[in-house]
Structures are given as structure tokens and as C-alpha cells.
Amino acid sequence: MTVTDLAMDAAEEQAKRAAERPPRTPTKTEEPEVKTIGSSCTWGDEELDRFKVKIVPDVDVQEMIPSEFFNFEKFEGYDKCIFLLL
């Protein structure tokens, strides 16, 4: 038997032992998909139902922000650092 034959036999034995052993590192588990809806993006379905969160792709800004924030009539006095109290 030559040195090459001994090396091949040893490699086969090592491969056989490696196949019988369980893997050393655990497999990664796939993480569930999380809905992205602002601050509640980590909430589950139970929390979304409890707080009555509606998932919508597009949001109308004027529906979300009160109308008094769209009143720009008092801007004339701001350029002179004068706040008009009415």
C-alpha cells in the first residue's frame, strides 16, 4: 500500500464520520414578515385589531391633520417678527 492509498483511505473514513455527525451550527429560522405602518410596525394582528388600526397604502394629509394647521392668513406679520393676536 502506498502513501497515496493510505491518504485516500483516511480521507474516506473522515468523510464517513463527518456525514454521521450532526451539524455544529444550527440552521437559521426564517423571521415572519412584519407589516410596516408607522410606529405600530412591530405589532401583531391581535394588537392591530385591538387598537382598530387600518392599513392603507396612501394617506390623505388633510384627513390626518386638523384644518386649522392649513390656515396661512397670519403669515404677513411673521416677516417682521410681529405676531398678531386676534
Three-state secondary structure along the chain? Answer: CCHHHHHHHHHHHHHHHHHHCCCCCCCCCCCCCCCCCHHHCCCCHHHHHHCCCCCCCCCCHHHHCCHHHHCCHHHHHHHHCCCCCC
Domain boundaries of the chain, sorted by first residue:
57-86
Condensed to tens digits (0 to 9), the pLDDT of residues 21-61 reads 877 777 778 877 655 555 556 677 888 888 887 777 777 77
Task: Look at residue 11 in the predicted model and tell me its pLDDT.
Answer: 92
Contact 47, 40 (CB under 8 A): yes
Average pLDDT, the chain: 76
For residue 17, pLDDT beyond 70: yes
Task: Look at residue 40 in the predicted model and tell me its pLDDT.
Answer: 52
